[in-house]
Amino acid sequence: MSGRMIGVDVGGTFTDVFVLDEETGTASVAKVPTTRPDQSGGFLDGINRQVSDLSSVAVVVHGTTAGTNALLERKGARIGVITTQGLRDVLEMRRRDRPRTWGLRGDFTPVVPRDLRLEVPERTLADGTIHTPVDLGAVRAAAQTLLDQGCAAVAILFANAYANPENEARAVEAVRALWPNPHVSASSEILPEIREYERFSTTALNAYLQPEVSGYIDRLETALKGGGFGGEFMIVQSNGGVMSVDTACRLPVRTALSGPAAGVIAASYIAQTAGFPDVITGDMGGTSFDVSLIAGGQSMLSPQTAIDFGMVVRTPMIEITTIGAGGGSIAWVDKGGLLNIGPESAGSNPGPVAYGLGNDRPTVTDANVVLGRIDAENPIGGKLDRLDVDAAARAIDTHIGAPLGLSTVEAAEAILRVANSRMAGAIRLVSIERGFDPKRFAFMPFGGGGALHSGAMMADVGIGRAIVPRHPGVTSAMGCVIADMRQDFVQTINTFVDQMDETALTAFMQDHVDQGMAILDAARTRFDAREVVVELDMAYLGQTHTVAVPLPITLDGTRVTPPTREEIAQAFDAAYAATYGRLLPNGTRRVMNLRTAVIGKRPKFDLSTLAPSGGSVADAHKGSRRVHFGDAWHDTAIYDRLSLPIGARIEGPAILEQPDTTVLIEPGLVGTTDRFGNTIIERTGD
């Protein structure tokens, strides 16, 4: 395959397009405003700016927030539920939690109203025995009622369907026979895993997204084809792998964290290529700081997330920890005299005080502006001609300086120190608390604002170095082009190792592998290699938290060689000892779930195609301005970052600017341009 590969990431404010020409080895990027409510406008506009003839494009990969937004804004379809007698309220009852520990306020509205959750006689027991066969007449009647009520999709949610899907499968067949569109989601197809609320919620949210997301994908695909595109169109999943549009339309719930996941994938690849397999990424946006840890080139996956209170999605996702400390986060002093940052945010509209759009409370960005770290004359984002430094300073004086008895500059430094300390806390959370020593890691900021804070992260957490990618503002779009194709499967087994039926386990594995390989076979993209990863969720009897146990399996072609009980027991002991230090003598080992990932490795592009060619430090030097660091103003050199040559070594204090990012090199640090155009920031002494 040759031709162009395009990655498109649609974010809240900007749509980023990354175009890689495999033949010429060149890459180009574009940033256009995101269009709302229909994001396809910005999507196509972005592509058209870079590529006139879509027939030359082999692959388009899309990281999308369409699903996330539909969930957060409750803009999914009107859907119905058909469920087991007695269980219509599971979705609304959740796991008996509450939105916040303190205050006892806030309620919850499920995505399916109670009158569209219909019960039918049927019951399967936990051991898979059918207690009551499904009443198909009642199922058909329920489906008809939901259609009459205007439902565009339906979710079928039966108790214990993970243990035996028969009742549910018969109901699904009956519903599919009369449902006028493909939007029928079944809990045992989406997530055959024990825990009814998590399974029902994931399945219902899938149904809720299906009409919306498949409509959106259809519009994009039609428009791409209309422009002459004849290649493959794929979507990034929350697990950081891509899937075909057919799979995406069937399993839209897997796109819940599509965009951020692509960013982490790119960060991982960039860092590894540059020689840093251990990296902590920090994406600083307007309202939040998203942190993710990559160890040995592998990003961490978490099994589930709550998109909002009561909106649980259980599919493997790249683990991203979010704290409410973004550029727009508001700084304030509480009644007890303590300086706080966030969680309230001015977002991007009205945004920081300096934007002059009506906010008068100081934000983290305002502190950066007042201290000269952000160029007030050339604001990022392009909407404004210049930033209002005086207004930002007044807001900082009024809200922070006066109550704490600090000068403007001291107060601005205080805001940054507290914000940095919260961000550092998030990094400690993902590293130290999980037994990773952050000193071993590099910090990689991406997004617009992260590179202003990398020096602070190094100082606060003890991280050794930071690596700022060449194009930190389009990392997610680049990740789309890099990501592998990946399908995840799960099946609850729930048995003791010494009583395990190896044939049954092997059959499930084989089924997962067959399904995954079929999806890879159907893809029109090229794979360098195929990989199957099998894990068992295991624990000792009596424990509730399971340990992920990697199971080395061998494939004969695509035939799975069955593992023995002894191999499983040994694998558990090894994983358990690695997690908890020591084994439990006489403990009964239990297998809860089987998880299989089938991965098609996509060809990687050569990152050196992004590297600068030529240039000189002198030419890149744009001038200087006064910037405040620590307790003094420093005359600080300003460079055009993209014009710096490979090997350029810039000692702090300095600022490297590019259209969508400001890179801060603090006194005592040095930034070196590596052979891929990344800036490696280290302590001068190191």
Q: Does 556 bind other proteins (CB under 8 A)?
A: no
| Candidate ranges 4-12, 124-132, 250-258, 372-380; the one touching other proteins (CB under 8 A) | 124-132
Q: Does 130 bind other proteins (CB under 8 A)?
A: no
Q: Does 148 bind other proteins (CB under 8 A)?
A: no
Of 543, 558, 609, 672, the residue at the interface with other proteins (CB under 8 A) is 543
CA 325 to chain centre: 17
| Candidate ranges 30-38, 188-196, 234-242, 527-535; the one touching other proteins (CB under 8 A) | 188-196
Contact 122, 171 (CB under 8 A): yes
| Candidate ranges 135-143, 194-202, 220-228, 365-373; the one touching other proteins (CB under 8 A) | 194-202
Instruction: Rounding to the nearest 10 degrees, give the CA dihedral for residues 162, 150, 315, 167.
Output: 10
Helix (H) or strand (E) holding 455: helix 454-461
Running DSSP on this structure, what letter comes out for residue 653? Answer: S
Instruction: Rounding to the nearest 10 degrees, give the CA dihedral for residues 645, 649, 654, 657.
Output: 20
DSSP notation for 626-686 = EEEETTEEEEEEEEEGGGPPTT-EEESSEEEEETTEEEEE-TTEEEEE-TTSPEEEEETT-
User: Which residue's CB is nearer to other proteins, number 335 or number 377?
Assistant: 335
DSSP notation for 200-224 = HHHHHHHHHHHHHHHHHHHHHHHHH
CA dist list (Å): 295 to 286, 300, 583, 597, 682: 27, 8, 25, 19, 20
Q: Work out the widest C-alpha separation in the chain, in whole angstroms.
A: 80
Total of chain residues touching other proteins, rule CB under 8 A: 66
Q: How many CA atoms lie within 13 A of 325 on its CB side?
A: 22
Q: How far is the CB of 159 from other proteins (least distance, A)?
A: 7
CA dist list (Å): 117 to 419, 597, 658: 45, 33, 53
User: Which residue's CB is nearer to other proteins, number 4 or number 595?
Assistant: 595
Q: Does 114 bind other proteins (CB under 8 A)?
A: yes
Q: How far is the CB of 404 from other proteins (least distance, A)?
A: 5
Q: How far is the CB of 192 from other proteins (least distance, A)?
A: 12
Computed on alpha carbons and rounded to an integer, the radius of gyration of the chain in Å comes to 26
Q: How many CA atoms lie within 13 A of 398 on its CB side?
A: 11
| Candidate ranges 13-21, 336-344, 648-656, 674-682; the one touching other proteins (CB under 8 A) | 336-344
Q: How far is the CB of 162 from other proteins (least distance, A)?
A: 7
Of 9, 290, 413, 666, the residue at the interface with other proteins (CB under 8 A) is 413
Q: How far is the CB of 484 from other proteins (least distance, A)?
A: 30
Q: How far is the CB of 538 from other proteins (least distance, A)?
A: 15
User: Which residue's CB is nearer to other proteins, number 337 or number 552?
Assistant: 337
Q: Interface mask (CB under 8 A) for other proteins, residues 380-409, using x and -?
A: ------------------------x-x---
Contact 81, 91 (CB under 8 A): yes
Of 10, 339, 627, 648, the residue at the interface with other proteins (CB under 8 A) is 339
Q: Interface mask (CB under 8 A) for other proteins, residues 80-109, using x and -?
A: ------xxxxx-xxxxxxxxxxxxxxxxx-
CA dist list (Å): 25 to 240, 456, 607: 24, 36, 9
| Two structure tokens written together for 16 | 């980023």
Contact 523, 224 (CB under 8 A): no
Q: Does 618 bind other proteins (CB under 8 A)?
A: no
Of 49, 140, 170, 195, the residue at the interface with other proteins (CB under 8 A) is 195
- Placement of tokens 């420093």 in the chain: 634
Alpha carbons 82 and 98: distance in angstroms, whole number: 26
Of 2, 580, 606, 608, the residue at the interface with other proteins (CB under 8 A) is 580
| Two structure tokens written together for 144 | 């008809």
| Candidate ranges 39-47, 157-165, 478-486, 616-624; the one touching other proteins (CB under 8 A) | 157-165
- Interacting residue ranges for other proteins, rule: CB under 8 A: 86-90, 92-108, 113-115, 123, 125-126, 131, 159-160, 162-163, 194-198, 334-340, 404, 406, 413-414, 417-418, 421-422, 425, 428-429, 432-433, 494, 542-545, 580, 584, 587
